[in-house]
Amino acid sequence: MRRLSTLFVEAASGGVTSSFDEILLFSEFRPYADDPLAAMGFLIDEAIAHGIEIVPKPSSVGPRDPLVFRRIDTNSIDAIGARIVRLVQEGELPQIELKSTLWLDINRRRSDAKATVDQLKSLKVCHSAMKTLCGFLNEDGGSLVIGISDDRSILGIEQEYPIACPKEQSVDGWLKAFRGAVTQFFHEPDQILHHVRLQAGRHDGMTMILAEVTPRRKLTFCKCSELRQFGIYTRRGSSTENVDILAIEQFIEARKARLGIVP
């Protein structure tokens, strides 16, 4: 009896065609003999874990229709989307932060049907994402995901194209808006962007952005939500906090010790 791991090896080498009915005969599917939906979920999870994609989706075809198993292109937007979904399954952790939008004030849109585009574009919302970047840069780095709510529902960045990038309503336009926000909020924005890797991922037809942030040895400053003055932000558990002016010296000394920065 064939094993699923053997099929995945063949798929990674050059692609394999099989049907869902044929896959159910593999030894790993004995526990799912009476539950084809659970078997399908197990198959999809195992394929992703082994870097294999299934085309088309098993749920979209009949049990005897051909399915192609092939190695995932790790640079494709769908592959990145799958990686983002796996990443956020654990929820918000010290080094993972989820944001529904970059600029769009969702709460205002829900409560005020007459709100204009200008009214829905919120500095406070954008500042929430920017201060998270600042916290990651000042600590141990992390991953900021935009387009997913706190309850891990995928909302997609498309909903805020008219707000964030009205002249170029596309992924590229949104990414330009993100870089523009960094320029607007950060001291030394060009250096900040060297520490932020932006990737677009797609899942269920919606686009999410993964911003992978590497820590910065130099202290990072981000403006407050009113853009009036700079502040220092740090991570405390799964939240981002402003460093109080009375605690800045202690924070800097502790940070130097952690990073091994000598006077």
Q: How confident is the model at residue 90 (pLDDT cuts 50, 70, 90)?
A: low
pLDDT tens-digit profile of 98-139? 999 999 999 999 999 899 999 999 999 999 999 999 999 999
137 and 50 co-located in one domain: no
Distance between CA atoms of 121 and 245, rounded to whole angstroms? 30
Q: What Å distances lie between residue 195 and 80, 144, 187, 212, 216, CA to CA?
A: 19, 13, 14, 8, 7
Domain around 38: 4-71
Q: Which of 54, 71, 88 finishes a domain?
A: 71
Residue 239 lies in a domain: yes
User: Over 80: is that where the pLDDT of 49 sits?
Assistant: no
CATH number, domain at 157?
Answer: 3.30.950
Residue with more model confidence, 101 or 74: 101
pTM for this predicted structure:
0.72
Residues 15 and 72: beta-carbon distance below 8 Å: no
> What is the helix (H) or strand (E) element at residue 80, kind and residue range?
helix 77-88
Q: What phi, psi does 63 have (nearest 5°)? A: -65, -20
164 and 41 co-located in one domain: no
Distance between CA atoms of 178 and 142, rounded to whole angstroms? 17
